[in-house]
Structure 1
């Protein structure tokens, strides 16, 4: 029996979070939705998450701070960073944080699928 990877989506914009969740579910992944980095960090079952897709720009805790907090707690699951406001140095900062992938919003469905397949070492469709 094959276990379906759980992908966590972290974005403060509920419409974006839900849309990306629906998209990722359509690729046959299990999805957990979080409105903030704090919401994700308060989940007592973080070890079930195979990959995180997080927005960079969020109030209180941005995606980079979330990544640092996860690493400080010993969690090393891959993180896909996404942003609609790619500032100078963001992609480099994401790479330094160990980003599995970096996406600029809006992105194509195939872009996020490719990132997930590469990150989770899944065969292409």
Structure 2
């Protein structure tokens, strides 16, 4: 049975978010879906505060915010899945991951200026 490609849901009004989604698509196997292109069914699967962060719809699950970012990095091979599993064993890891995600999300205007100077790199 074939599985659906993971759908990366991101804020397509945000330059940094779009750059990140572009990077993920170039380096992994994702279908990008901007907030403006979400279907009603996709929106219904997302958490109530869905506009606050990135999401990954994959394998019948919804990953959000830091967990979505971590899952994208693991699926692109940038972070080994075994390492993520190892980190999940620490009590404070989820809180720290989400805090780090929020730090980046809250500073995306600044990060957007940094990445706008160059297009996202593909696989080397």
Class of the TM-score when normalised by the shorter of the 2 chains: 0.3 to 0.5
Greater strand proportion? 1
Q: Which has the larger radius of gyration?
A: 2
TM value normalised by structure 1: 0.35
Greater relative contact order, per chain length (Cα 8 Å cut-off, separation 6+): 2
Higher fraction of helix: 2
